[in-house]
Amino acid sequence: MTTDDTGYFEELASALRAAQVPEEQTAATVADLTAYLAETGTAPEEEFGPAAAFAAQLGAAAPAVTGPPGEAETWTWTADIYNDRRLLAVHGDHGWEVERLDALGRFVCRRTPRTALRWEYRREIVGGRREEVLGRLVPEGWEPCGEWFFYAYFKRPKAASAGPAALDTLPARPVRSWYIGVKGWTVSAGWLVAVVLILVAYYSRHVDFAIAFPVLLAGTFGMTYWVRRTVARSSDPAT
């Protein structure tokens, strides 16, 4: 950051404080805009206009949400691998920040009134290339927010790619927390059937387990390969 950039953001922060924007939101806004300019390589006044006028716009767009400042909402939800990215985009636009994935693979989210930001997410298949993925995404502002089997999820404030994106209002927390579609149920049923068939083959006296087990095992691996290929084709493209 150049000296001119530093002066611009100091002026912007002072103007936001004067407009009674909370200190936490002011700091977050300056950090997001700094990261955004680091990507674009443009000068702040060229990108946003005069600091005072820009601060007035941001101050006017500050979320008008009732409730005590700093009172955070939490929400935990889950989705199958065919719906997760779409739903992360929707809920990220509503200010929900994924803090982690729990042991059941659910997204544990947090949102703070008055200081909520829009978030964007991406999913990567990591496997044995975790360090390579981190090395590619972290410099672009992506932060790991959870892993599930061979999938890793990343987040960053949406301002990093789309410019300032203040929330005017916060939609109510969704009542629903379970998003499993037809494909998700189909895959789950396939796994269950495979397990049942293996157990039946093992305990049945009418089935040669030495023959049935390799066949069922091959089918299980085939289904695993198909699921992974399907998800890989829909994963976020390399940047």
For 54-106, the DSSP string reads HHHHHHHTS----S-TT--EEEEEEE-TTTHHHHHHHHHHTTPEEEEE-TTS-
Report d(CA 6, CA 22) in Å as an integer. 20
Give the per-residue pLDDT at 44: 80
Give the per-residue pLDDT at 110: 94
Give the per-residue pLDDT at 66: 42
Contact 181, 80 (CB under 8 A): yes
**Rg of the chain's alpha carbons, rounded to an integer?**
23
Q: Please state whether beta strands 178-179 and 73-79 pair in parallel, antiparallel, or not at all (unpaired).
A: parallel
SS3 of 222, please?
Answer: helix
Give the per-residue pLDDT at 239: 37
- Residues of 153-183 as b/e, b for ≥16 C-beta within 10 angstroms? bbbbbbbbeeebbbbeebeeeeeeeebeeee
Mean pLDDT per 10-residue section of the chain, whose length is 239 residues: 74 82 78 76 79 72 45 88 90 94 92 87 86 91 90 88 64 83 62 65 62 64 59 50
Give the per-residue pLDDT at 92: 94
Give the per-residue pLDDT at 77: 94
